[in-house]
């Protein structure tokens, strides 16, 4: 039986230190700490979580700092915990004091998951209302335009001439796939 700790932050810019400290406090060996820097919106887009789910075995324990770090909506949360339960894996969320080995723990998990989703829905509503008001007042400018990284021209030309693959250009320029292709589209629109 092993104990694992799953850490997630929404972007590369966010810091994982606080969650890593929690893992240390629970004496989780570093090889059992899985760190993901990705939005929690889609479980499909979380390769570290997928990998961890494949590693976990019956009798293992999975600890997270908070259910919001594990799943962003109630359905995903329940589905993930059900997968864990079916494999005989214990799920523990520190912030909410949830332990799925108890009936109360499962009940509380469902309640906290629903409350977390409701809170996110309220935030989205307020954000949409704020954007609508800002648009009416002519103050809304949308997202900031993405800056081209240094040496964009060089690696763009190399990619276009098939000297390097897109994935290599992304790595060199330190860009995510979606950002890379947004910049390509933006660049090609400007060039025309």
Catalytic residues: 10
DSSP category for residue 6: E
H runs (alpha helix) in 71-151: 74-86, 103-136
33 Cβ neighbours under 8 A, 6+ residues apart: 4, 5, 7, 20, 23
- Specify the long-range contacts of residues 47-51, CB closer than 8 Å, at least 24 apart: 48/6, 48/8, 49/6, 49/8
């Amino acid at each position: 039986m092993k104990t694992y700790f799953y850490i997630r932050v929404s972007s590369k810019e966010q810091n994982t230190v606080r969650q890593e400290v929690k893992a240390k406090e629970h004496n989780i060996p570093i090889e059992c700490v899985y760190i993901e820097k990705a939005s929690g919106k889609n479980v499909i887009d979380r390769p570290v979580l997928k990998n961890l789910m494949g590693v976990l075995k019956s009798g293992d324990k999975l600890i997270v700092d908070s259910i919001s770090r594990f799943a962003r909506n109630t359905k995903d949360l329940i589905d993930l915990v059900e997968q864990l339960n079916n494999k005989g894996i214990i799920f523990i969320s520190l912030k909410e004091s949830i332990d799925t080995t108890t009936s109360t723990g499962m009940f509380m998990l469902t309640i906290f998951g629903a409350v977390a989703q409701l809170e996110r829905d309220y935030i989205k509503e307020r954000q949409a209302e704020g954007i609508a008001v800002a648009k009416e007042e002519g103050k809304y400018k949308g997202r900031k335009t993405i800056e081209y990284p240094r040496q964009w021209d060089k690696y763009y030309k190399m990619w276009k001439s098939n000297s390097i693959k897109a994935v290599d250009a992304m790595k060199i320029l330190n860009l995510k796939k979606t950002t890379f292709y947004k910049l390509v589209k933006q660049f090609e629109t400007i060039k025309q």
